[in-house]
Amino acid sequence: MTTVEVPHGSRSVVLRVAEVITETADARSLVFEVPSDLRERFAYKPGQFLTLRIPSDRTGSVARCYSLASSPHTDDQPKVTVKRTEGGYGSNWLCDNIRAGHELEVLPPSGVFTPADLDENLLLFAAGSGITPVMSILKSAIARGTGRIVLIYANRDPESVIFAAELRELADKHPQRLTVIHWLEQLQGLPSVASLAALSRPYTEHTAFLCGPKPFMDGVHQALAEIGVPRNRTHAEIFNSLAGDPFADQAPVEISDEEAADAATVEVELDGEVHELKWPRKQTLVDIMLDKGLDVPYSCQEGECGSCACTVLEGKVEMDNSEILDPEDIENGYILGCQAHPLTDRLRIQF
């Protein structure tokens, strides 16, 4: 049996797998038991993800982010869904090894791929395992919202459609609010920009959420732009493999007298409270906030997951890695706290 004696850092916890569900031939869902004393820490928003620590003979462990396919409004226990990827160590290890009763080390929920308002009309796009966070949003909006929901879901063939029965049941139960459009490569070929635009055109007033392989999301972005959906109503989820160890505790920040003298001053708004901090130029915003004991949202610290996204209200920063942010995001003031360094002497930033 896979057991984990103690967590490897102060942020992570060990959770027991209550159930493993076979979704398709190459996809499994892991349902976690969350003890009552951890319920608050593991409260999550629709579309967020968990980071799992997966054992590795070569490196000791690898960290992987998997979206929560469950809804905080309809499901008693959190559930992540994992699809095998060719050459993907983490997904294959989980699908091959994890059984009910096993334990995994997990970081609390994170991520910003979540609707601000469950009552708005939603246009959801998913391809393959990209359905996982989209399913969480869909179920939550059906349960707690009032808007119209349209899902465009691309897969290779009927056998690879994750959550096929659940989607059919939801569509049958809520015909006035939910429309599910399946696109099967086996029958229709790969979805083109023109076909995605044609499917989306009746729903240009909806807010779009999309998750899937990069070519699919590039096509959706282009299609939505062509039919006039504003960029600020389009939200994409992107996952990359993490190279570092987000489970390790942050080392104390060491600042020389010279760095302290040249530090910027930043006002950070977090959970409605404003904190004034000194921000040395070589340190990231997440580094200095963690050093001051603030509960800043973050996961990978590599600029790959978007958990630490925040908005610059005053001042300027530079970022080591900002590839997951679109140019429009950056233009609108979005930054990644784990990659940001101050360029101006005073800044105001809001999480």
Q: Exposed (0-12), middle (13-18) or buried (19+): which is 283, by Cβ within 10 Å?
A: buried
Where in the chain do CATH 3.40.50.80 domains reside? 122-237
How confident is the model at residue 60, as a pLDDT?
80
Kindly report the number of other CB atoms within 10 A of residue 327's CB atom: 9
Mean pLDDT across 305-333: 89
The string of pLDDT tens digits covering residues 228-271 is 999 889 999 977 667 677 888 777 778 788 888 999 999 999 98
As a whole number, mean pLDDT of residues 88-101 equals: 95
Where in the sequence of the chain do the CATH 3.10.20.30 domains occur? Answer: 257-350
At residue 59 the predicted structure's pLDDT band, cuts being 50, 70 and 90, is confident
What does the pLDDT read at residue 249? Answer: 75
pLDDT at 18: 98
- Nearest alpha-carbon partner for 205 in 280, 291, 120: 120
The CATH classification number of 13-110 equals: 2.40.30.10
State percent of the chain over pLDDT 70.
98
Q: Where in the chain is the domain with CATH 2.40.30.10?
A: 13-110
How high does pLDDT run on average in the chain? 93
- Domain 257-350 part of CATH 3.10.20.30: yes
For residue range 259-278, list pLDDT tens digits in order: 889 999 999 999 889 999 99
Range with the largest mean pLDDT of 52-61, 247-256, 312-321 = 312-321
Average pLDDT over residues 132-153: 98
pTM as predicted: 0.86
Query: Residues 29, 70: contact at Cβ < 8 Å?
Result: no
The pLDDT of residue 148 is above 90: yes
Instruction: Please tell me the CATH code under which domain 122-237 is placed.
Output: 3.40.50.80
Q: State the Cα–Cα distance between residues 264 and 127, nearest whole angstrom.
A: 43
Q: Which two tokens stand for residue 214?
A: 């990069």
Q: What angle do CA 280, 324, 42 make, to 5 degrees?
A: 80
